[in-house]
Amino acid sequence: SSGTNSITARVTPLNKSIKNIHSIHSFMQKDIASIRRDYQMASLDEAASAASPMDQFTHWWEDATTSNIDEVNAFVLSTVDANRAPASRVVLLKGYTPEGFIFFTNYDSDKGKEVAANPNVAMNFFWKELERQVRITGTIKKISAEESAEYFHSRPLGSQVGAWSSPQSQVIPNREFLEKSFAENTEKYKEGIVPLPSHWGGYIVHPTQVEFWQGRSSRLHDRIRYSFENHQWTKVRLAP
């Protein structure tokens, strides 16, 4: 009898703990579900939008860069590897032209290997301060070494040295490995120009579709999508 009571005593606190965990989980889920915002800042109309997506992007980019947005040039880059597994990460836009969007990275990184296997990518800018998204799909290719070198040598010295010091996306034993490599390269290049690594440079994403998303009240958002078909851009409105 005393043994049974002992088991019961041990089980009861455990049951209470399980109930508490479920209660906390339920509360957290309800709290997340209650987070919402009604968008009312602006609208987007087909007639008022530019004929080409790059011109429309320029209009929105000018709005974004004058709206005190932190890391305004940050966007999510999504890639697909040779096994069709998707991956996303935040990178920084470093320029754009009528032909596409430019960023720089380590060519030996995971994203570098993924775009080598599959050049189809997606980009997403989210400017919450303006209640706007820009969604881009297209194909990617490397820019010239000369263009990469010009940008590389405009970077802070520490960033140039860092490009030589970090085997991006590879497993390393510890933080000290990275710091030692950086220190060695800092000493190596302290009196000369840091050369452009062959494994580092720029990409340009040539868009084939660009969607401009403007948040609206009651989730009735404005969505204007441009598609490049038959050597010209066309645009349509999408339901939110």
- Averaged pLDDT for residues 214-232: 95
- Token pair of 44, please? 């987007």
Report d(CA 240, CA 226) in Å as an integer.
15
Indicate the average pLDDT of the chain.
Answer: 91
pLDDT at 186 over 80: yes
Cross-strand pairs, 142: 203
pLDDT at residue 29, as a whole number = 67
pLDDT in tens, 70-79: 999 999 999 9
Range 54-59 average pLDDT: 98
237 vs 7, which has greater pLDDT? 237
Split at pLDDT 50, 70, 90, the class of 15 is low
Contact 153, 160 (CB under 8 A): yes
pLDDT score, position 66: 96
Q: What is the mean pLDDT of residues 129-136?
A: 97
Question: Residues 10, 36, 219, 237: which is the catalytic one?
Answer: 219
pLDDT at 35: 86
22-31, 102-111, 151-160, range with the lowest pLDDT: 22-31
Q: Distances in Å between the alpha carbon of 11 and those of 18, 19, 98, 108, 174?
A: 11, 12, 68, 54, 43
219, pLDDT greater than 70: yes
What does residue 49 show for φ and ψ, rounded to 5 degrees?
-80, 155
- Is 84 known to be catalytic? no
Q: Are the CB atoms for 112 and 91 separated by under 8 Å? A: no
Angle (CA) 31-32-35 rounded to 5° is: 95
